[in-house]
Amino acid sequence: MKKTKNSYKKSGVNIETADKFTKYIQKYSQQTFKKKLSKFNKGNIGKFASLFDIKQLKIKDPVLVASTDGVGTKLEIANKFNKFDTIGIDLVAMCVNDLIVQGAKPLFFLDYIATGKIKLTKMKKIIKGIISGCKISDCVLVGGETAEMPGTYDKDKFDLAGFSVGIVSKKKVITKNKVKNKNIILAIPSSGLHSNGFSLVRKILKNSKIDSFLKKELLKPTKIYTREVLNLVEKNLINSSANITGGGIIENITRSIPNNLTINIDLSKIRVLKIFKWLKSKNISDMEMLRTFNCGVGFCLITDKKKVSKLKKCFNKNLQPYEIGFISKSSKKINLLKKIRW
C-alpha cells in the first residue's frame, strides 16, 4: 500500500482557512479608514508590509511615536467564558493609551494573532474587537499577522500582540519636564480591571464562585482615552500624564515626573470600583492592590491648578476627572496620604 504523502495541512496548518480569515479582515478593516485616507490605504491587508502616508496630515515638525503590547492572561478568561468580542478592544487600548501619554495621535495599528488552530468564528470575533478599538481611537487597521502554530499552542489557546504608531508635532510632545511644583494630579476613572493583574485574578478565581457580576466585570474592555486626552493636548491643558497599567497607580505616576519632584497621593480620594473591593476581600494587602491593579483609576493627568476647571469641561459626566493629589519638592519619589477606602 502506498503511503499518504505528507502535507502542511496534515501537520496541523490549514492555509485555506488562513486565506479565508485574511479576506474577512480585508473586507471589515475598511471600516477603520477615513475617507481622505481610504484610497491610499486600500489593499494594505494581505501585502508583505503596509503603507501609510503622513504627508497629507500636514503636521509641522512631525515626530512618530510607537508602542507595542498585549493583553496578558486576560486571554485565559476569554477562553474560559468563550467570549472573544471585547478582547480586541483591550489589545488596541493597551497600545494607544501609551501613545497619548506622549501627546501622540494614533495613526495606525497592526495585530499579531498566534493560535494552535484557526477557528474562523473565534478569530472573526477577535478581529471585530480590534476593529472596534481602532474606530474608538480613530486609527486605521493597516495590517497584521495570523500564525497557526500547532504544537506550540493547544488548539483552543491563542495569544495576541498589538503594535501602534502615532504622530505629534515636536512642540506638542508631552514630557515629564513640564511638571512643576504645586501641580495638581487628576484621576480619570477606569472601566474596571482593564488588562492587568489577571494572573493574580485567575489564582483567586480557582477558589471562588463565579457569578454573573464577575463574568461581566472580568471581560469589560479597557477604556480608550484617546479622544479626551488628545483634546487636552491640543488645548495645552496638561503638563504630563500616565497610563495606569502594570505596576498600578504607584509605579506608573512616578514615571511621569522629574527626579527632583514628589508625587503626593491622597488614597482616600480614589473612587474604588466594586470589582476591586471584591478582590481586596480575598486577603490582598493594600500595597499589593495598588501595585497590581488600577483600583478605579485608568489614567492620570498632571496640570496647573488654574487649568483644572477648564480641563474638566472637556469630559462628559460619566468620565469626569477628579483630584487625588499634588506635586511637591521632596527627596521622596512618592508620598501616600491617608488610607484607601475599600
Identify the structural domains of the chain with CATH numbers, from first to last. Answer: 15-172 (3.30.1330.10), 176-337 (3.90.650.10)
Report the pLDDT value the prediction gives residue 50, as an integer from 0 to 100. 81
Q: What is the pLDDT of residue 6?
A: 63
Going by pLDDT thresholds of 50, 70 and 90, the confidence category of residue 38 is very low
- For residue 200, the model assigns a pLDDT of 97
**Predicted confidence (pLDDT) per residue in 96-154, tens digit:** 999 999 999 999 999 999 999 999 999 999 999 999 999 999 999 998 899 999 989 88
- Band (pLDDT 50/70/90 cuts) for residue 36 is very low
| CA-closest candidate to residue 97, choices 133, 49, 47, 45 | 133
Euclidean distance between CA atoms 78 and 306, whole angstroms: 44
Residue 155: pLDDT band (50, 70, 90) is: confident
H runs (alpha helix) in the chain: 15-28, 35-41, 74-81, 87-99, 120-137, 198-205, 212-218, 226-234, 248-254, 274-280, 286-292, 308-312
**With 80 as the cut, is the pLDDT of residue 293 above it?**
yes
pLDDT > 90: what percent of the chain?
Answer: 76
- Hey, what's the cell of 9? 495541512
Mean pLDDT, rounded, of the chain:
90
In this structure, are residues 323 and 186 in contact, taking their beta carbons and an 8 Å threshold? yes
Render pLDDT for 224-261 as a digit per residue (tens, 0 to 9): 999 999 999 999 999 999 999 989 998 999 999 999 99
pLDDT for 7: 60
Residue 12 half-sphere exposure, CB side, CA atoms within 13 Å?
Answer: 12
Dihedral, CA of residue 87, residue 91, residue 92 and residue 93, to nearest 10: 90
- Say if residue 55's pLDDT is above 70: yes
In whole angstroms, what is the distance from residue 9 CA to residue 196 CA? Answer: 36
Q: Which amino acid is at 334?
A: I
Task: Identify the pLDDT of residue 331.
Answer: 83
Q: What is the pTM of this model?
A: 0.91
State pLDDT tens for residues 271-287. 999 999 999 999 999 99
